[in-house]
Structure 1
Amino acid sequence: MVNVLMIEDDSEFATLLSEYLSKFNIKVTNYEDPYLGLSAGIKNFDLLILDLTLPGIDGLEVCKEIREKYDIPIIISSVRSDVSDRVVGLQIGADDYMPKPYDPKEMHARIMSLIRRYRKTNAEKEEVVADSVFRIDEKRHEIYFEDEALTLTPAEYEILEYLIKQHSFSVSREQLVYNCKSLKDKDSKSLDVIIGRLRTKIGDSSKNPKYIFSVRGIGYKLIG
């Protein structure tokens, strides 16, 4: 079954689309309140259908916030057909833009196309570190260590994700700080604190490391 999150304040439209998609084993969970939608456990869904005209917040802001935190296919579904809305929506992270009204058959086709594309991409990303004790699930925004999900802060996730993707290669401190968007204090001293916390969470040691190694004069590298 495909689980779709929908944020749409037109309940009648949401019901009609949900009933149609259910024929294809697609379950749609709709929230008319965008704030409830944002707190609905987005990582548990396969795709998001997002309206732009929402109560209390513009849908473009919702799109931007979700894209910054989650790797999920996003289809904007809106009566706003202005070219600037389409351009901005796609620039900030939407994968597709469907002006209303549209045929539900087309929405079904686009949903399946996007999901196939994302699944293929994620499979390729996981394959890169297939022999490692670490595994990245970008769709759920989680990192697994020896098949156990780690509880990570956003900054810890970004640092560890980057090290995993550069597996066995030395990475400079500057690279890590630059690629960690959640690191509020861009002083590299904050990086040492994060590395220390990561080592604690995977049972590693700075004196006798098994996974995260300090590289003198450069930064760090991850093995294992």
Structure 2
Amino acid sequence: MTQKEKVAFVIDTLENLYPEVPIPLDHKDPYTLLIAVLLSAQCTDVRVNQITPKLFAIADNPYDMAKLTIEEIADIIRPCGLSPMKSKGIYGLSHILIDKYNGEVPADMSALESLPAVGHKTASVVMSQAFGVPAFPVDTHIHRLMYRWNLSSGKNVVQTENDAKRIFPEDKWNKLHLQMIWYGREYSPARGWKLEKDIITSKIAKKTMITELLKNHKQ
């Protein structure tokens, strides 16, 4: 199975499985998405979706968030983990958005990455899902799948993102990365993984094995 064939198979299968794919984190605008993604670091989306309604009921915009203290934010988001760092980030970025961007989240990767506690993945999610700018945020699911599908070396997420952007069409990135997240959770988890239930990985492994056998036979 050539890389081109793998890519086509992955895209077609994911499109059949997830023709409509929701964003895992509940939000209503770029700001609430930014906060939700920030909170999701080392935390499940399910837990984040349980906590953000409590936070957003009090402050769902930078102006209201800036009125809270770091300690007040930390008390609400503590179940998400890393609350000291995340609360400082939320407080700090809210003030920066007010002072530099009139309370709006900038649709610019560099500007987003310069905000406190906002890394490349968080910025990429906001750019792709809030503003529709092509990006390929790599989380643990995508990193795992790219390695299992032999589409990336799996050395680090930077390499995985570069490989994904290189082999997948740019106009597919924003939807495809979401499809891969849902697929990873449902069919190809890190724990309790069963190859026979992993539709894409098992097909690729089988085709690759057949190709290798035929190649060895010819030699």
Taking structure 1 as the reference length, the TM-score comes to 0.31
Query: Whose RCO is larger (CA < 8 A, sep 6+)?
Result: 2
Report the structure, 1 or 2, having the larger helix content.
Answer: 2
Larger proportion of strand: 1
